Structure 1
Amino acid sequence: MSAPVLKHTTAPVVVAIGADQRAEGHIREALEAAGFAVEILSRGDVVDAVERARRASAQAPVIAVVAVGTSRADLRRVLRAGASGIVIDGQLDEALVPTACAIIAGQLVVPPALVRQLAPRALSFREKQILALVVRGYTNRQIADTLFVAESTVKTHLSSAFHKLETRSRAETAALILDPVDGYGLGVLPIAESETEQAA
């Protein structure tokens, strides 16, 4: 199926490039051929480019072009910064113009593979229990005593949770859980209350 083409229109769209910036000419040519008035921002990382695009053209929707392997955290930052669509740099030919058409119509466009990546990874009940106590400042030994498990079990579940949350320390994990935007607080913090009440 050929890409949709908008005829006799100059719908504005801003492209923030966080991938191979050598693709800028190809991106401009493809969008202008489809009838879009294009502005491209490619200096700095893609989140910075999206933020500058929102400031420069508040009314024009922004497409973020990202590299394969962009982290989940950066993808979330791109959307929070104001991107209306995300295109993977290896899919420009088939996805760029359809994405531009969709965001002009008011849609949010994220490739299916990235939707799965953006979704929070499910934590097990035990991981939530342990993380809830980490947020409260408990040591591994205190968590083990509270939950009546071995300290090695606590370490195993913490390691698994760190991997799922893409964090590297207790402090970073606690900050993520408490984050009002990206946090897991609603799924973690209530457990702390029940566990500490049982331990009291």
Structure 2
Amino acid sequence: MTLLSVMIVDDDDLMRAGLCAVLSSDETIDVVAEAADGRAAVQTAAQVVPDVILMDVRMPGLDGIAATRQIIAAAPAARILILTTFEDEDYVYEALTAGATGFLLKRTRPEQLIAAIHTVAGGESLLSPSVTRTVIDRMIQQPRRDPRAMRRLQALTPREREVLELVAHGLSNTEIADTLVVEESTVKTHMKRILGKLDLRDRVQAVILAYEAGLTRPGERLNAVAGRRGDQRQPVR
């Protein structure tokens, strides 16, 4: 049996102990290291190279977002799951743009936390519709398109751009497949090609790029999606 190695980063001793206890209930997870602040997290991550890092945001010295940025700079493949008490828009946006793979609140149920660890360890991002909404709201405040992001999208086919639009509105692979009347495996193939062509780590970065490029605007695509769901008589290939 292959174990998933996890590192816990939190300045609260009791929180770290609680997380260790929760994760110990899953025999496929092995907590290999702990850190009480961002600087220790950066150093320990370089030595241990865990599969997944659970990262707190507010910590003395180097905070979790800065630590995430440094870890990703040194190891781009690192999978970091932000776990915090604060559902602040700035925290979510900054954590995701720093390279975090997902964002969870500490009130998340134990089974959801364990599932999230397996999700990000498997190469997927943890991007819920609520987190997507936060990214969208932040991008609305910065309405100017980035010409560099727009040029990057030229590498995509029309169908890949369409899939990216739906991803940017928080739809899951299953929902995209339902909307486009295709198999979910087809959507996964499109997503793999999108990430490869655009040199993106995961779904999180795809959403951010879509809004930076102006590919998606609030409201207009959601209306189109609703319309298509109402009429799926002709399969879309």
TM-score computed with the length of structure 2 as normaliser: 0.42
Larger CA Rg, structure 1 vs 2: 1
TM-score by length of 1: 0.48
